[in-house]
Amino acid sequence: MNPFQWLAISVLGLLLVAEVVQVVRRPTVRLFWAFRCLVWLSAAVAIARPDLVQDVASAIGIGRGADVVLYVFVLLFPAVSFYLYSRCVRLQRQVTELVRHIAIMEARKGE
């Protein structure tokens, strides 16, 4: 393994340990936590064994392993962007409803 692989896998290992510590300290959504851990583990495996990514690319008919990684990110970016946008819009609506409710309650107190 080259120095980059050692460094990257060490950083990913620390991130994975931080995820485990976080779930022990604070309860979190287990499915979301498991997905994050899966992402860190997948990245570590891909860095440790780049030939595995190439084998997956060949199996699905793509020429290079780097192209598989690019295609995955190209597909995930819009999905994550739309999801986060919808969450922001929903949060804005909830804040608006809360402000309206507080304003009505304050107006009733003043009567």
Q: What integer pLDDT is reported at residue 45 of this predicted model?
A: 92
**Domain ranges for the chain:** 1-48, 66-111
For the chain (111 residues), the mean pLDDT of every run of 10, in chain order, is 91 91 82 88 92 92 91 94 96 97 90 71
Q: What integer pLDDT is reported at residue 47 of this predicted model?
A: 92
Q: What integer pLDDT is reported at residue 20 of this predicted model?
A: 86
| pTM of the complete model beyond 0.85 | no
Question: Strand runs (DSSP E) across the chain, as ranges?
Answer: none
Q: What integer pLDDT is reported at residue 29 of this predicted model?
A: 78
Q: What integer pLDDT is reported at residue 70 of this predicted model?
A: 93
Q: How many CA atoms lie within 13 A of 5 on its CB side?
A: 8
Q: How far apart are CA 99 and CA 70, in angstroms?
A: 43
Q: In what helix (H) or strand (E) does residue 33 lie, and over which residues does it extend?
A: helix 30-48
Q: What integer pLDDT is reported at residue 30 of this predicted model?
A: 79
Q: How far is CA 43 from CA 2, 14, 22, 111, in A?
A: 16, 13, 20, 61
Q: What integer pLDDT is reported at residue 28 of this predicted model?
A: 76
